[in-house]
């Protein structure tokens, strides 16, 4: 039996987030700056073989049970279904977070390759606002991507929505209705200090309490058992589905967090807000054995702190934005 990865506080780490690229086909202010983004060169990004090797070590030897592919935008990586097919052979729950714009073209291929679940990031249902946020006139393609994901058999299809005060906080009810109409699960995520423009402030955070109060003004719902999930889940009492709220700022779930992250250039991070990392790419390319790589991973996980400390005086904002870290 694989020996699980346990951090200093006794938490097991079984969820691996893999950023397959730092590139994106949008210019979302939340993820990356409008100008001046320095992309990794092709040789600096982990190959599919390298990703498969690291993932295999963690599944076989360290008890990892779920893998999520992220970016940047993962679907801009060439031949992505090939990576999905390789990772699906590991016998884990395999999911992906995407902006959805290319799903009309590849949703069925990803499903056939073995992808189990899909999350689509979308922060507005208004065409003009979508352009302001992404610098692309692609809302219809994203909406078509949601439809394509449902038709391909992904269940549930989850929509990740980040409400930001003064920007899209007036769309909470619209998204809930959209979720009911389309048969998809909306998850509202509190705005975190990982925006590329560095303009985050606590005043712009629409809290979980505010989201639920707004939802209750029109919909009737009841809580579901949470378990270890970061999302607090709620079921509509009329049977029309569910939605979730992730209170990552006001009610952090750090004590139950089971995640670690592998960036596109092979840096392992024990937290989204970690200030340090372990360079697995150099180990891979210097001929390190599986045991040596596993020991480096264990050492990094052991460094995980008690919590991210947002809104505390000693909080230090990471130097990398969401597109460089992976969601």
Query: Residue 2: what pLDDT?
Result: 67
73 contacts 99 by C-beta, under 8 angstroms: yes
Quick: pLDDT tens for 147-206: 999 999 999 999 999 999 999 999 999 999 999 999 999 999 998 766 555 665 788 999
- The first and second tokens of residue 264, run together, are 């596109």
- The arithmetic mean of pLDDT across residues 230-252, rounded, is 92
- Complete domains list, the chain, with CATH: 5-325 (3.20.20.70)
Euclidean distance between CA atoms 130 and 134, whole angstroms: 6
Side-chain half-sphere CA neighbours of 267 within 13 A: 17
Quick: pLDDT tens for 96-108: 999 999 999 999 9
The percentage of residues in the chain with a pLDDT greater than 90, rounded to a whole number, is 68
Residue 252 confidence (pLDDT) above 90: no
- The first and second tokens of residue 124, run together, are 């507005």
Contacts of 180 (CB under 8 A, 6+ apart): 236, 240, 241
Within 10 Å of residue 55's Cβ, how many Cβ atoms? Answer: 21
Phi and psi at residue 69, to the nearest 5°? -90, 130
Quick: pLDDT tens for 59-88: 999 999 999 999 889 999 999 999 999 999
Question: In which band, very low, low, confident or very high, does the pLDDT at 274 lie, cut at 50, 70 and 90?
Answer: confident
Euclidean distance between CA atoms 264 and 29, whole angstroms: 20
Quick: pLDDT tens for 121-153: 999 999 999 999 998 999 999 999 999 999 999
- The arithmetic mean of pLDDT across residues 296-325, rounded, is 66
For residues 262 and 7, the model is more confident at: 262
User: What average pLDDT does the chain have?
Assistant: 88
Question: In which band, very low, low, confident or very high, does the pLDDT at 326 lie, cut at 50, 70 and 90?
Answer: low
Residue 313 confidence (pLDDT) above 50: no
Query: Residue 270: what pLDDT?
Result: 87
Query: Residue 308: what pLDDT?
Result: 54
134 contacts 106 by C-beta, under 8 angstroms: no
């Amino acid at each position: 039996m694989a020996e699980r990865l346990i951090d200093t506080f006794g938490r097991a780490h079984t969820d691996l987030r893999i950023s397959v690229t730092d590139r994106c086909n949008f210019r979302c202010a939340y993820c990356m700056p409008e100008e001046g983004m320095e992309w990794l060169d092709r040789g600096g990004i982990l190959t599919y073989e390298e990703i498969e090797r690291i993932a295999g070590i963690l599944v076989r030897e360290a008890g990892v049970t779920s893998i999520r592919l992220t970016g940047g935008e993962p679907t801009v990586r060439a031949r992505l279904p090939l990576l999905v097919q390789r990772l699906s052979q590991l016998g884990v729950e395999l999911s992906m977070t995407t902006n959805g714009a290319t799903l009309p073209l590849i949703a069925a291929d990803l499903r056939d390759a073995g992808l189990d679940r899909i999350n689509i990031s979308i922060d507005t249902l208004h065409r003009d606002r979508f352009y302001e946020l992404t610098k692309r006139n692609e809302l219809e393609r994203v909406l078509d991507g949601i439809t394509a994901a449902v038709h391909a058999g992904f269940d549930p299809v989850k929509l990740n929505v980040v409400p930001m005060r003064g920007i899209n906080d007036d769309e909470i009810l619209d998204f809930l209705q959209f979720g009911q109409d389309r048969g998809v699960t909306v998850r509202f995520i509190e705005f975190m200090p990982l925006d590329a423009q560095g303009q985050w402030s606590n005043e712009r955070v629409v809290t979980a309490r505010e989201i639920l109060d707004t939802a209750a003004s029109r919909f009737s719902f009841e809580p579901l058992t949470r378990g270890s999930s970061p999302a607090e889940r709620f079921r509509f009492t009329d049977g029309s589905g569910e939605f979730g709220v992730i209170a990552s700022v006001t009610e952090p779930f750090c004590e139950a967090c089971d995640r670690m992250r592998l960036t596109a250039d092979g840096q392992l991070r024990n937290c989204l807000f970690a200030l340090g990392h372990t360079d697995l790419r150099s180990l891979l390319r210097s001929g390190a054995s599986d045991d040596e790589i596993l020991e480096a991973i264990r050492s990094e996980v052991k460094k995980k702190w008690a919590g991210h400390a947002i809104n505390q005086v000693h909080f230090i904002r990471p130097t990398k934005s969401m597109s460089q870290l992976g969601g």
